[in-house]
Chain A
Amino acid sequence: MQPFVLSRPKTLAEAAELASARPQDSALRAGGIDLIDRMKEGLEAPARLVELRWLGEADREVMRALGPEGDGVQVGALVTLAQLAAHEGFGEAHAALREAAGSAATPTIRNAATLGGNLLQRPRCWYFRHADLVCLKGGSACLAVSGENKFHAILGGGPSFIVHPSTLACALTALDARVEIRGASPRTLPLAELFVTPKQDAKREHALQPGEVLVRAILPKPGPEQRSGYAAVKEKQSHDWPLAEAAVKMSLQSGVMTDVRVALGHVAPIPWRSREAEAVLEGKPPSEALFAAAAKAALAEAKPLRDNAYKIPLAQGLLREVLHRVAGVPLPE
């Protein structure tokens, strides 16, 4: 790593000012897991890291909050994945977030990595991560199109075929989360609006401007009898990036599913909400046949590259598994 100045501002306003004064040269740091990785790989060499963990009491409080907020739940951006995975206040309604947090990375990484960092990390594409290569993120062509693309996008791809790396984003998409941004134009927006599709701008994955800070995620008031779940398939059980993820949320009352949300992860450049699958499920009683139809609908538009067609049946099977578990319908066989 190149030497840098480590700034420890006391307020978010100071942090925002430091980070936006020389945006190409500064980086905000929370847990720092992805940032330090990129710096060690030589992808970035910021002259100044602006620490968010040393903020004064007032700002730290909101960024470390974990618990009820009105009728919903708030999760501060500095809450670690380990804290999320161990949080008992989530219950069945928000189980997807707990399960996702406990599934990411390793126990030691989860003790440092934060919600904010997980949502805003850069892609894991091996072309992007190679310091000697210039991919679409810095140049003019996505090298995955004609290269090795086993782990790349099957939905929503083009011109970039990265998959979004955030495991929490998959669960938070299913849970209808909103995120609060502070900076020049403070706002709270639906999670989907935080992410940028490659068609909008292939150089970036999120919409934050220099000096803007994601301070917390907010989960809305759970619906009646709300339940949720998350699962991933990986090549290794531990410390591996998912091949595919699925998260589901629904209210199950009088044998009927309502307010259904279906999200897939590691299949598209953004956390992928499947309105097609939701439409199949909404207002219907859960059943094996319906879940199979929903999974088929979720992947109907998939366009695999040379090496990743396997992701289609994989994601379908995974989504069915999560639907069965969340709805309490025994798996076939």
Chain B
Amino acid sequence: MSDRAGITRRGLFRGIGTAGLLAGCKPSERPPTTTDDPGGAAGPGAGEAALGPGPAPLAFTLNGEAKTVEVAPHVTLLAALREQLRVTGTKVVCDRGACGACTVLIDGVARNSCMTLAHDVAGAAVTTVEGLASGGKLSVLQQAFIRHDALQCGFCTSGMLMSCQGLLERSRGQKLAREDVEAAIAGNLCRCGTYPNVVAAVLDAAGGSA
């Protein structure tokens, strides 16, 4: 039983993927993880004149941790997070900025990672759903989502959480109204229709009335 529980869907896929990869090529050395890499670290105004079309170094901060990856210019932030960095909490749904499932925070601002190129975040701080919990403890917002049953199938949840986290961060100290939350999640589609519970959860997490 415990062995069965140890097999996860994603673990299984990853195993297949790694096996396929090892069969085809030799693993290359990763570039050093440092923020003073000449390819990135600096914000707009100090980048290289041209990147690509092949992979080019990119340095940014992901959930508080410095990352350096080699990524081609046409790769979206969403694809780089999921397929290169294997940070898969952020979901692919429409891939056109129409559903909000891929929402992440870039320097605290909620953005569609599917419509953002990975190289757009050079030198920036990216927060994904994995960055909400700390020390193995779910965030206040995540706990409120559970208390208020603010998810059903869960596919919109990681994006929904990030839009709500963005709202909580920019409204810190202010009292939130129902309309504020509704406006903040206006780009996050939930086909299960959990919106009222999401609103209640965010108001609760913000210390307002639920």
A283 shortest CB reach to chain B, Å: 39
Instruction: Take A54-B47, A56-B45 as given contacts and tell me if A238 and B186 are in contact as well, using a CB distance cutoff of 8 Å.
Output: yes
A183 at the interface (CB under 8 A from B): no
Whether the Cβ atoms of A57 and B49 lie closer than 8 Å is: no
Whether the Cβ atoms of B163 and A108 lie closer than 8 Å is: yes
Instruction: Take A49-B73, A106-B187 as given contacts and tell me if A112 and B53 are in contact as well, using a CB distance cutoff of 8 Å.
Output: no
Interface size class of A (residues with CB under 8 A): 20 to 34
**A176 CA / B53 CA spacing, docked (Å):** 42
Could you mark each residue 8-40 of chain A with 1 if its beta carbon is under 8 Å from any beta carbon of chain B, else 0? 111000000000000000000000110011001
A-B contact count (CB 8 A): 94
Whether the Cβ atoms of B187 and A4 lie closer than 8 Å is: no
Contacts of A108 in B (CB 8 A): 97, 100, 103, 110-112, 163, 187
Whether the Cβ atoms of A32 and B51 lie closer than 8 Å is: no
Whether the Cβ atoms of B51 and A54 lie closer than 8 Å is: no
Interface size class of B (residues with CB under 8 A): 20 to 34
**Chain A contact residues, majority secondary structure:** loop
**A276 CA / B28 CA spacing, docked (Å):** 69
Whether the Cβ atoms of B97 and A37 lie closer than 8 Å is: yes
Residue of B nearest to A7 (CB): B50
Whether the Cβ atoms of B51 and A107 lie closer than 8 Å is: no
Instruction: Take A3-B52, A107-B163, A112-B112 as given contacts and tell me if A33 and B186 are in contact as well, using a CB distance cutoff of 8 Å.
Output: no
Contacts of B117 in A (CB 8 A): 6, 32, 36
Instruction: Take A107-B110, A109-B187 as given contacts and tell me if A9 and B73 are in contact as well, using a CB distance cutoff of 8 Å.
Output: no
Could you mark each residue 93-132 of chain B with 1 if its beta carbon is under 8 Å from any beta carbon of chain A, else 0? 0011110100100000111100111010000000000000
Whether the Cβ atoms of B186 and A109 lie closer than 8 Å is: no
B179 shortest CB reach to chain A, Å: 12
Whether the Cβ atoms of A107 and B96 lie closer than 8 Å is: no
CB-contact partner of B74 in A1, A10, A56, under 8 A: A1
A146 at the interface (CB under 8 A from B): no
**A57 CA / B46 CA spacing, docked (Å):** 10
Binding site for A on B (CB under 8 A): 44-45, 47-54, 72-74, 76, 95-98, 100, 103, 109-112, 115-117, 119, 163, 183-184, 186-187
